Amino acid sequence: MPTGKVKWFSAAKRFGFITPDDGTADVFLHLSKVEEANLPTLESGTALQYSIGSRNGKVFAEGLSIFSKPKAFRREAALNQDFESEFEKEWGLRRR
């Protein structure tokens, strides 16, 4: 089974792309295939195993399984807190 990492995925747009580990062209990933595999919404960098399907000459990923999740950013909570603090200061909700 091929492996690769999620390049990007948007549930709102209902699709995204996988960058294969073997260096070949990006593979189309549709929301329906994510739902069939009972996977949560995918984050960029999530490593997947998948198989290649094709329909009308178009190639897509199917039979998905998570190989490994991306490492979380350590400063994410601090960045959110900094943003909220600056937002509140800007709008007069917090004293400087």
User: Is 89's pLDDT higher than 90?
Assistant: no
Q: pLDDT tens for residues 68-84? A: 766 655 445 444 555 56
What does the alpha-carbon distance between residue 96 and residue 89 come to, in Å, rounded to a whole number? 6
Q: pLDDT tens for residues 9-68? A: 998 999 999 999 999 999 999 999 999 999 887 889 999 999 999 999 999 999 999 977
What does the alpha-carbon distance between residue 86 and residue 96 come to, in Å, rounded to a whole number? 9
Please state the domain extents for the chain. Answer: 3-71
How open is the CA angle 8-31-58, to the nearest 5 degrees?
Answer: 85
Please indicate, yes or no, whether the overall pTM of this predicted structure exceeds 0.75.
Answer: no
Q: What integer pLDDT is reported at residue 92 of this predicted model?
A: 61
CATH match for 3-71 among 2.40.50.140, 2.60.40.420, 3.40.50.300, 3.80.30.20: 2.40.50.140
Nearest CA-CA partner of 66 in 51, 80, 49: 49
What does the alpha-carbon distance between residue 59 and residue 88 come to, in Å, rounded to a whole number? 47
